[in-house]
Chains A and B, each alone.
Chain A
Amino acid sequence: MSVPTHLDLRDLTVGGPAGPILDGFSASLERGVLSALVSQDQESTRAVIDAVAGFVRPQHGRILLDGKDLGLRAPGERGIMTVRANLALFPHLTVLANIAFPLQQRGHDRGEIKNRLDRLAEECGISTDLLPLMPNALSAEQKLRVALARALGGEPEVLLLEWPLYSLAPAARRAFLPVLKRLHRHFGLTTLLATDDLAEAMALADVISVLIDGREAQRGKSEDLFGRPANAVIARLAGPCNLLPVEVDMTESKVILRSPILLAGGSDIGRDRCHPTLTSGPAQLLIRPEAVRPFLGIRRFDMLADGQIADVMPRGGGAQIRATVEGFPPGIIADIPLPAPFPLESGRRITLGWNRADAYLLPAD
């Protein structure tokens, strides 16, 4: 059974001083689902958020909530709350007053406000001793919790998160992902997360849209974006990758690829491992570092490349190596589990291999 569409964005175009920031963006958010909008450009994600929240009037397009056009409805009447990148806490109000603000505006009585406030503070992990403090006395993570509590206090139908982890350090960002996940599960709100970090979106969202130059470049689940990206930009956004230049010859039954980088000068690959718009000619072969292994003569690989170890970087329970390959200066990156079968030293010759099932052919840039 399909989940009904809750928030429907149709052909949104938002203008800026130098042309459209957002160009014909459409998306359907299902009720209770966390969707992500990924872009390296904060302007375009902000344009979506501002248009949905009602702070910007789109030049073109419609925003429907439960089938009703939000059109000219004021921001406070849309049932939508936003957590901004700068968190936008009221600097002159205490944590308590910040969280209570939307409850007061909605006319709840004192007892009700107190009950809800206690619950919100507990659910968002805000200890009671923080409540009388001013926002500038809080850490970035505590401020984020307060911003989330305030947004949830507005009893929204839709929660918009605009680069919410922007103010946190990388380690704190990773640590906060489960908190966001838990809050989404607990409140079950339709949520739109705008972020620049595809990995973050993949960890949280059920459906992800990637915006490039104000246009939607790809929409799908995290495994689609990781394994079958629409272009090299999305492939890189999804995580470290090797993009090897190859020449493609497409036949009816299979796709033949040729490259001086590959041993034996080439290989072939199934049509299901090719981008739909791929045609014969130059292309890029995408292989993730975790699919690349050293060839020791025992295990069979579909594709092999000879190289020389240039860099070795310890990473978790293994090491990431970069091997320079003749004719391809960037080299090939491979994640090698430790202990390695041989010493990983710079300058050592190495043969790397991978299988067809782990590769994906993309059109050339």
Chain B
Amino acid sequence: MTRESPRAGILQGPLMGLAWIAILAQICFFAAPLLMVLWLSLQGAPDQPTTMTGTAWLRVLGSIEARTALLNSMLLATLSTLITTLLATPLAFLIAIRRRFLGRLALGFIILMWFFDPGMRILGWMQAFKDLALINFIPVDLLAGFSAELIASVHAWLPPAALCLAAGFARVDRSVLDAARECGATAFVLLIDILWPLNRRLAALAAAIVFCGSVGSFLEPRLLGTGDFEQASEWLQRALESETGWPYAAAMLMLMLLLAGLPLFVVLLAKHRGREIKL
């Protein structure tokens, strides 16, 4: 006779049935629209009737505009991820490790940042720097075009990235950090040699959040000063607005989803590895 584990009781009976229904409902909720978009992306465009599936994909991949928009989004997302992670790390360190005045200040800063839409913030800066010329020594070009979008993106994703890292840093055993400090480790060594390696997965997750968010972000360059930097999301919007463009929009959406999924593999690969030193 085999002994049942105590958990077995919970996983049986009517509750189990309800749990399965909930799981299936969740799968349907997320998978159904995704499958629909995939199906749409494989359709021929209405203006060019054809029975061959995947026409929309071919048209999108063949379009220089679409490829440029995708590359722009990739570039923006990659730069946003790098800059955001670099800025978020010291902020997370202050919030999680230096819990006193500086930590509270950093947390307050992060919370304040979250209150305002990034586009609005950029506009506000432009008002202050460019139109009102309150401070005229800052290069105004910084606040227009690609750099404006980059600033806005970093501004938008810094709070979640910093809080994500801070949550990980705060979980590290305090006595391990104390041991490192006692050995003479500086704040920088603590961050690079102890906190980062112990939070490799979480750091990858924070970077993935920023990357995924930036790839799909929609920041209107015209609003920010110039219209010469089109992102994938804007291309998608234009495609949706045209009467015959919905299959292309679906194909672009699938490409963006694939792009956004890339960093998730990085998270999965970021294993807890030991560090060796060579003497």
Q: B167-201: which residues lie under 8 A (CB-CB) from chain A?
A: 173, 175-176, 178-185, 189, 194, 197-198
Interface contact B182-A76, CB-CB below 8 Å: yes
Which residue on A lies nearest to B273, using beta carbons? Answer: A92
Question: When A82-B179, A105-B189 are in contact, do A88 and B275 touch as well, CB less than 8 Å?
Answer: no
Q: A88-132: which residues lie under 8 A (CB-CB) from chain B?
A: 88-94, 96-97, 100-102, 104-106, 110, 113-114, 117, 132
Q: B33 contacts the other chain (Cβ, under 8 Å)?
A: no
**In the complex, which of the residues B178, B183, B198, B277 contacts A154, with contact meaning CB atoms closer than 8 Å?**
B183
Question: When A76-B185, A105-B185, A113-B279 are in contact, do A84 and B274 touch as well, CB less than 8 Å?
Answer: no
Contact with B along A214-228 (1 / 0, CB 8 A): 000000000000000
**In the complex, which of the residues A53, A97, A100, A150 contacts B178, with contact meaning CB atoms closer than 8 Å?**
A53
**What A residues does B197 contact at CB under 8 A?**
92
**What A residues does B173 contact at CB under 8 A?**
86, 88
Q: How far is the CA of A96 from the CA of B275 in the complex (A)?
A: 10
Interface contact B182-A80, CB-CB below 8 Å: yes
Interface contact B178-A75, CB-CB below 8 Å: yes
**What B residues does A177 contact at CB under 8 A?**
none
Interface contact B178-A88, CB-CB below 8 Å: yes
Contact with A along B46-57 (1 / 0, CB 8 A): 000000000000
Q: B243 contacts the other chain (Cβ, under 8 Å)?
A: no
Interface contact B176-A90, CB-CB below 8 Å: yes
**What B residues does A106 contact at CB under 8 A?**
184
Q: What is the size category of the interface that chain B forms with chain A?
A: 20 to 34
Q: How far is the CA of A132 from the CA of B276 in the complex (A)?
A: 8
**What A residues does B183 contact at CB under 8 A?**
76, 81, 101-102, 105, 150, 154
Which residue on B lies nearest to A93, using beta carbons? Answer: B275
Name which of B198, B276, B279 has the most chain A CB atoms within 10 A of its CB: B279
**In the complex, which of the residues B175, B181, B182, B279 contacts A100, with contact meaning CB atoms closer than 8 Å?**
B279
Q: How far is the CA of A94 from the CA of B197 in the complex (A)?
A: 13
Q: How far is the CA of A10 from the CA of B180 in the complex (A)?
A: 27
Question: When A94-B274, A134-B274 are in contact, do A114 and B182 touch as well, CB less than 8 Å?
Answer: no
Interface contact A117-B279, CB-CB below 8 Å: yes
**What A residues does B178 contact at CB under 8 A?**
53, 55, 75, 82, 84, 88
Q: How far is the CA of A74 from the CA of B187 in the complex (A)?
A: 12
Q: How far is the CA of A102 from the CA of B194 in the complex (A)?
A: 13
Interface contact B175-A84, CB-CB below 8 Å: yes
Contact with A along B241-279 (1 / 0, CB 8 A): 000000000000000000000000000000011111101
Which residue on A lies nearest to B198, using beta carbons? Answer: A92
Which residue on A lies nearest to B272, using beta carbons? Answer: A92
**What A residues does B182 contact at CB under 8 A?**
53, 75-76, 80-82, 102, 154
Q: How far is the CA of A53 from the CA of B180 in the complex (A)?
A: 12
Interface contact B276-A97, CB-CB below 8 Å: yes
Q: How far is the CA of A100 from the CA of B273 in the complex (A)?
A: 18
Q: How far is the CA of A81 from the CA of B183 in the complex (A)?
A: 8
Question: When A84-B179, A86-B173, A86-B175 are in contact, do A92 and B184 touch as well, CB less than 8 Å?
Answer: no
What distance in Å separates the Cβ of B184 from its nearest Cβ neighbour in chain A? 4
What distance in Å separates the Cβ of B22 from its nearest Cβ neighbour in chain A? 36
**What A residues does B194 contact at CB under 8 A?**
90, 92
**What B residues does A105 contact at CB under 8 A?**
183-185, 189
**B interface residue numbers (CB < 8 A to A):** 173, 175-176, 178-185, 189, 194, 197-198, 272-277, 279
For this complex, 29 residue pairs linking A to B, each with C-beta atoms less than 8 Å apart, are A53-B182, A55-B178, A55-B181, A75-B178, A76-B181, A81-B183, A82-B182, A84-B178, A84-B179, A86-B173, A88-B173, A90-B194, A92-B198, A92-B273, A93-B274, A94-B274, A96-B279, A102-B182, A102-B183, A102-B184, A105-B183, A105-B184, A117-B279, A134-B274, A150-B179, A150-B183, A154-B182, A154-B183, A154-B184
Known: A88-B179, A105-B185. 17 other contacts (CB 8 A): A81-B182, A82-B179, A88-B173, A88-B175, A88-B176, A88-B178, A89-B176, A92-B198, A92-B274, A94-B275, A96-B277, A100-B277, A102-B184, A105-B183, A105-B184, A114-B279, A150-B183
